[in-house]
Copies of this chain bind each other. A is one copy, B any other.
Amino acid sequence: MALTAGMRLPARALLRAWAWLPGAALGRTEPAAGGGVGARRFGNQRVLVEPDPAAGIAVMKLRNPPVNSLSLELLTELVISLEKLENDKTFRGAILTSDCPGVFSAGLDLTEMCGRNPAHYAEYWKAVQELWLRLYTSNLVLISAISGASPAGGCLMALCCDYRVLADNPKCVIGLNETLLGIVAPFWFKDTLVNTIGHRASERALQLGLLFPPAEALQVGLVDKVVPEDKVQSTALSVMAQWMAIPDHARQLTKSMMRKPTADYLVKHRDSDIKNFVSFISRDSIQKSLQMYLEKLKQKKG
């Protein structure tokens, strides 16, 4: 099962699906404004890493304006940043957050899925899988500090963390809203959601493509804590301190015991999942839908 198009896909529904976005769902292929790689900060252009070696943690800020679309570049840089932190014994935890106001991440980048060739689609999908595998099974304690909208792939990244702090702002909606775009969340998005909020809540949320406002996200278990917007970072840090108090090795093995079966299932079906995605996304009907949607977004921006 992969992303699959709706047959009766109205353009209006597509637009409504991302109507909450402050900017647009268009990724930018040009580099983002410079994240300094200095003595105390490292990272790359789209992921700014602020290390706190004394505390053993780092803050990873997504910086792919306007809406942190998960472009191939962002995916790659995020995986590399994670890898660096995992391999550096200094770091035991990381906070995942956004440098773009109003949005955590808009999720997958539609421009990576439209008007390209099958090889590109396959490369892109493999990168999406890779990010999920890395985040979901990370040895680090991962906490997401969410001060903006988190639809689709944005929600997925949050779900991969060990703890989610959400700003108490009605614009900070979160959920896997793929059906609103006429597409279907891949099975591993679904598995991650079921592991977090259970089968029944997932069934309803996925079918309706629900984007939960903060209070509802908390109630259904999609996030663990809702706090005023200016307390999101400090709350994430104090929660991190609680997790840091646990011996690493025992915690990591426990996490692995909980998550490895879910991750292994994708690893086992990785190639067929890529094949499914490429075959789906290459369909004329899907390409036409995406094209139309991207045109509308451009007009809206212009």
Contacts and interface: CB of A to CB of B under 8 A. Distances in A.
A257 B273 CA distance: 14
A226 B6 CA distance: 32
How many of chain A's residues touch chain B, expressed as a range? Answer: 35 or more
Q: How many copies does the complex hold?
A: 3
Interface stretch (A104-112, A120-128, A147-155, A176-184): A176-184
Contacts of A182: 247, 249-250
Contact of A249 (B4, B203, B257, B258): B4
Q: Secondary structure of the A side of the interface?
A: helix
A253 B13 contact: no
Interface stretch (A33-41, A61-69, A80-88, A205-213): A205-213
A190 B260 CA distance: 13
B250 A179 contact: yes
Nearest to A190: B257
Nearest to A141: B207
B248 A8 contact: yes
A13 B251 CA distance: 13
Contact of A199 (B13, B180, B250, B258): B258
A245 B179 CA distance: 10
Nearest to A253: B184
A212 to B, nearest CB: 14
Contacts of A5: 249-250
A300 interface: no
A254 interface: yes
A257 B9 contact: no
Contacts of A195: 199-200, 203
A58 to B, nearest CB: 18
A97 interface: no
Interface of A: 1, 4-10, 13, 162-163, 178-185, 187, 190, 194-200, 202-204, 206-209, 221, 224, 242-243, 245-251, 253-255, 257-259
Given A4-B250, A197-B200, A207-B258, 19 more contacts: A1-B253, A4-B249, A5-B250, A6-B250, A7-B247, A162-B204, A179-B254, A180-B247, A181-B250, A183-B250, A184-B250, A184-B257, A195-B203, A198-B198, A202-B258, A203-B255, A203-B259, A208-B242, A208-B246
